[in-house]
């Protein structure tokens, strides 16, 4: 039978510590909240009061319950106040020597049966535990910020943590209404190990002027449905905290180069640009601690990638291709008021594309998202052709044919001969080098990537890919077209994966490696990322939807181009694809979908 905890202690009353105090007090548990000094204690008290007052104002907590919550909390200076608690959770800054000193003192102060827990997000629980004479009673209980809201708790056991201690803590998490995942003591645990490699990669993109901060963040929010972009999230976490976590993971996690903090991160920390807490990080905020972003001029690299004026006028658009992507792009342009010429191989395919567009538009009418008159007007703007010659007078051509470089190069060579001067030629490739396509023409300055996401009528993002030969006018035209379509166009360089795939698929690959190492289960890893990071899908859910073969192909391209050892495809992913386990499309992937 699980142990009953009636009184717990919390050491450190910063944002995280005060949140943990609130979690316990909300659930009827008496809390001894401890800080190092009276001023720090008052700041912690104010943080708790502010949080509970906001909950009352939002109708999420009754005034009587708030008052009862505060009555359960006893504030004190010094660790001596923890002499009779059943459990202590330490939530001080991420410095190993500091935590070890606190645990040594807790070992002296607390009763022999008291469980000692650390809320560390990256440090070794084992190294913390050896500062005590009771390492078998030391465990990691990693809450996520904000603790009262986030459902996930990572329960971290060391090689000597007693099984009954683990069971008691798991039962406590359930009592608190949290979902726990129990794992071994490894750098970054689950969530941070997967999250911070991705965040560091995003900082590297920004540092190298590959894309602007706004475009990187918009790409991941709109392309992946994430609650925040990576650079805004870094500001929320705190750049100093992020640096410490990455540095710890690099040193403890096998010195993976992708966890070595990007130099810009260290420079910003040294300069005091810590994110929201200091009022300035990758973005500038209204005041320290405020979430409100204000325009700035001086944020490092903030204006890099600014577009030149000179967008060309676009009235008539050609779309080449007959697949789902081409069909969606035709619909998007026609609904936005453009005259569209659809070109396919043969009138039979043209008829199929026409029917697909009509069906999609009719669905929009049935669902109340499109008026009948607007549907009819959109259809009236589309003409159908089986020859490229009908593209002679268009202003923009969007190619959406099969992802084979030889096919695209041949097509662009033909377009170069047929289209009038000044026409922007766009490829929708998601994986091939745009420059290779551009150099099949005599006008590489007019060639740009327009990577729509599927389904094109629904997805709000388009990656605008400029090569080293793309003119500023062509880039500006492409972005202006995206805006006219009601899409967010994000500009990036011509590099494998562009923004979204380059950040997304290494994260998915890391999750496969974590599973392959038997560190955790697919379900727990998915829970960790959904509940701990707010992701709409866990990595294995997403891999099964995308297709394991597609993921493997993209990961191989990233590895071949960037030559980063950490990008090497996980052997487990390769083996599953070889065995025909491709995800939902084969009803077998990381999960069995045969019942669906």
Please give the residue range of the domain that contains residue 228.
Answer: 191-294
In angstroms, rounded to a whole number, what is the distance separating the alpha carbons of residues 289 and 283?
12
Regarding whether 208 and 247 lie in a shared domain, the answer is: yes
* pLDDT score recorded for residue 474: 96
Domain boundary among 184, 205, 221: 184
* pLDDT score recorded for residue 304: 43
Of 51, 129, 145, 192, the catalytic one is 192
Regarding whether 106 and 68 lie in a shared domain, the answer is: yes
Regarding whether 401 and 288 lie in a shared domain, the answer is: no
Regarding whether 164 and 137 lie in a shared domain, the answer is: yes
Domain boundary among 184, 201, 226: 184
596 or 13: which leads in pLDDT: 13
Find the mean pLDDT for residues 341-355.
92
* pLDDT score recorded for residue 587: 85
In angstroms, rounded to a whole number, what is the distance separating the alpha carbons of residues 93 and 112?
26
Whether residue 387 has pLDDT greater than 90: yes
DSSP 76-97: EESGGGGTT-SEEEE---S-HH
Regarding whether 90 and 135 lie in a shared domain, the answer is: yes
* Distance from chain centroid for Cα 71: 39
DSSP 402-463: -S-HHHHHHHHHHHHHHSPTT-EEEE--SSS-HHHHHTTSS-GGGEEEEEE-SSTTT--EEE
* pLDDT score recorded for residue 168: 96
- pLDDT tens-digit map of 204-231: 999 999 999 999 999 999 999 999 999 9
* pLDDT score recorded for residue 303: 43
CATH of the domain at 550: 1.10.1040.10
Regarding whether 486 and 529 lie in a shared domain, the answer is: no
Regarding whether 353 and 280 lie in a shared domain, the answer is: no
Residue 407 lies in a domain: yes
236 pLDDT tier (thresholds 50, 70, 90): very high
Catalytic residue flag (residue 431): no
46 SS3 class: helix
594 pLDDT tier (thresholds 50, 70, 90): low
**What value does the mean pLDDT of the chain take?**
93
Catalytic residue flag (residue 121): yes
Q: How many CA atoms lie within 13 A of 164 on its CB side?
A: 8
Q: Which residues contact 30 (CB under 8 A, 6 or more apart)?
A: 6, 7, 8, 72, 73, 74
Regarding whether 405 and 327 lie in a shared domain, the answer is: yes
Are 14 and 44 spatial neighbours (Cβ–Cβ below 8 Å)? Answer: yes
Catalytic residue flag (residue 142): yes
Are 456 and 329 spatial neighbours (Cβ–Cβ below 8 Å)? Answer: yes
Residue 299 lies in a domain: no
**What percentage of the chain reaches a pLDDT higher than 70?**
97
222 SS3 class: helix
Whether residue 254 has pLDDT greater than 80: no
Domain boundary among 476, 493, 510: 493
- pLDDT tens-digit map of 58-85: 999 999 999 999 999 999 999 999 999 9
Work out the angle between the directed axes of helices 230-237 and 239-252 (0-180°, nearest 10): 100
Whether residue 592 has pLDDT greater than 90: no
306 pLDDT tier (thresholds 50, 70, 90): very low
* pLDDT score recorded for residue 122: 84
Residue 311 lies in a domain: no
Regarding whether 140 and 28 lie in a shared domain, the answer is: yes
Whether residue 297 has pLDDT greater than 90: no
Residue 165 lies in a domain: yes
Sign (positive/negative) of CA torsion 506, 509, 513, 519?
positive
Find the mean pLDDT for residues 7-34.
96
* pLDDT score recorded for residue 461: 97
Regarding whether 43 and 14 lie in a shared domain, the answer is: yes
Of 94, 154, 473, 541, the catalytic one is 154
Residue 258 lies in a domain: yes
Burial per residue of 417-453, b for 16 or more beta-carbon CB atoms within 10 angstroms, e otherwise: ebbeeebbbbbbbbbbbbbbbbebbebbebbbbbbbb
44 pLDDT tier (thresholds 50, 70, 90): very high
Q: Which residues contact 159 (CB under 8 A, 6 or more apart)?
A: 126, 184, 185
Catalytic residue flag (residue 520): no
In angstroms, rounded to a whole number, what is the distance separating the alpha carbons of residues 204 and 566?
15
Of 90, 124, 129, 142, the catalytic one is 142
Of the candidates 433, 475, 543, the one whose C-alpha atom is nearest the C-alpha of residue 215 is: 475
In angstroms, rounded to a whole number, what is the distance separating the alpha carbons of residues 429 and 268?
35
101 pLDDT tier (thresholds 50, 70, 90): very high
The total domain count for the chain is: 4
* pLDDT score recorded for residue 593: 59
Diameter over CA atoms, the chain: 86
Of the candidates 245, 142, 236, 262, the one whose C-alpha atom is nearest the C-alpha of residue 196 is: 245
Are 10 and 21 spatial neighbours (Cβ–Cβ below 8 Å)? Answer: yes
Helix (H) or strand (E) segment spanning residue 254? none
β-pairing verdict for 7-11 and 284-285: unpaired
Residue 301 lies in a domain: no
Regarding whether 547 and 470 lie in a shared domain, the answer is: no
Burial per residue of 228-249, b for 16 or more beta-carbon CB atoms within 10 angstroms, e otherwise: ebbbbbbbbbbbbbbbbbbbbb
563 pLDDT tier (thresholds 50, 70, 90): confident
Residue 462 lies in a domain: yes
In angstroms, rounded to a whole number, what is the distance separating the alpha carbons of residues 333 and 358?
14
Helix (H) or strand (E) segment spanning residue 124? none
Residue 398 forms beta bridges with which residues? Answer: 319, 426
Residue 455, preceding bond cis, omega within 30 degrees? yes
- pLDDT tens-digit map of 476-528: 999 999 999 999 999 999 999 999 999 999 999 999 999 999 999 999 999 99
Task: Determine phi and psi for 156, rounding to 5 degrees.
Answer: -110, 115
Whether residue 25 has pLDDT greater than 70: yes
CATH of the domain at 378: 3.40.50.720
Residue 39 forms beta bridges with which residues? Answer: none
Find the mean pLDDT for residues 366-374.
93
* pLDDT score recorded for residue 308: 46
Residue 329 lies in a domain: yes
- pLDDT tens-digit map of 416-454: 999 999 999 999 999 899 999 999 999 999 999 999 998
Are 102 and 116 spatial neighbours (Cβ–Cβ below 8 Å)? Answer: no
Whether residue 255 has pLDDT greater than 70: yes
Q: Region of 337 please: left (phi>0), alpha (psi -120 to 50) or beta.
A: left
Regarding whether 390 and 532 lie in a shared domain, the answer is: no
Whether residue 578 has pLDDT greater than 90: yes
């Amino acid at each position: 039978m699980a142990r009953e905890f009636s009184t717990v202690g919390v050491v450190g009353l910063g944002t995280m510590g005060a949140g943990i105090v609130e979690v316990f007090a909300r659930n009827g548990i008496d809390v001894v909240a401890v800080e190092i000094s009276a001023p720090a204690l008052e700041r912690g008290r104010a943080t708790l009061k502010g949080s509970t007052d906001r909950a009352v104002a939002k109708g999420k907590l009754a005034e009587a319950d708030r008052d009862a919550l505060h009555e359960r909390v006893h504030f004190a200076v010094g660790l001596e106040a923890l002499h009779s608690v059943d459990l202590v959770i330490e939530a001080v800054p991420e410095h190993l020597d500091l935590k070890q000193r606190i645990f040594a003192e807790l070992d002296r102060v607390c009763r022999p049966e008291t469980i000692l827990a650390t809320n560390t997000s990256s440090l070794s629980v084992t190294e913390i535990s050896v500062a005590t004479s009771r390492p078998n009673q030391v465990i990691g209980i990693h809450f996520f910020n904000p603790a009262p809201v986030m459902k996930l708790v990572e329960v971290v056991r060391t090689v000597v943590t007693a099984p009954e201690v683990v069971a008691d803590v798991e039962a406590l998490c359930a009592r608190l209404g949290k979902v726990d995942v129990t794992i071994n003591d490894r750098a970054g645990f689950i969530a941070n190990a997967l999250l911070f490699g991705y965040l560091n990669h995003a900082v590297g993109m920004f540092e190298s002027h590959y894309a602007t901060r706004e475009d990187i963040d918009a790409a991941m929010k709109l392309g992946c449905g994430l609650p925040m972009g990576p650079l805004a999230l870094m500001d929320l976490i705190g750049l100093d905290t992020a640096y410490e976590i990455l540095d710890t993971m690099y040193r403890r996690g096998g010195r993976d180069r992708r966890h070595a903090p990007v130099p810009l991160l260290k420079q910003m920390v040294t300069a005091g640009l810590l994110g929201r807490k200091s009022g300035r990080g990758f973005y500038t905020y209204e005041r320290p601690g405020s979430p409100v972003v204000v325009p700035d001029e001086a944020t490092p690299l903030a204006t890099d990638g600014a577009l030149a004026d000179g967008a060309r006028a676009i009235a008539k658009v050609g779309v080449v291709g007959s697949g789902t992507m081409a069909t969606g792009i035709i619909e998007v342009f026609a609904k936005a008021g453009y005259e569209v010429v659809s070109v396919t191989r043969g009138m039979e395919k043209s008829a199929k594309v026409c029917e697909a567009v009509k069906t999609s538009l009719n669905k929009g009418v049935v669902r109340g998202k499109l008026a009948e008159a607007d549907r009819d007007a959109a259809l009236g703007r589309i003409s159908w052709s089986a020859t490229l010659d009908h593209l002679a007078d268009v202003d923009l051509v969007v190619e959406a044919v099969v992802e084979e470089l030889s096919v695209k190069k041949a097509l662009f060579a033909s377009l170069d001969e047929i289209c009038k001067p000044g026409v922007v030629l766009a490829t929708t490739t998601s994986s091939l080098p745009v420059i290779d396509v551009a150099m099949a023409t005599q006008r590489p300055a007019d060639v740009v990537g327009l990577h729509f996401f599927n389904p094109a009528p629904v997805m709000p993002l388009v990656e605008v890919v400029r090569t080293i030969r793309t003119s500023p006018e062509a880039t500006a035209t492409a972005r202006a077209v995206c805006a006219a379509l009601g899409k967010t166009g994000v500009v990036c360089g011509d590099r494998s994966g562009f923004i979204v795939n380059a950040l997304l698929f290494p994260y998915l690959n890391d999750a496969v490696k974590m599973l392959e190492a038997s560190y955790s289960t697919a379900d727990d890893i998915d829970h960790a990322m959904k509940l701990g990071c707010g992701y709409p899908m866990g990595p294995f859910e997403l891999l099964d939807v995308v297709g394991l073969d597609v993921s493997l192909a993209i990961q191989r391209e990233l590895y071949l181009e960037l030559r980063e050892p950490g990008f090497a495809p996980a052997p487990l992913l390769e083996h599953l694809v070889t065995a025909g386990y491709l995800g939902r499309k084969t009803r077998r992937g990381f999960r069995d979908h045969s019942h669906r």
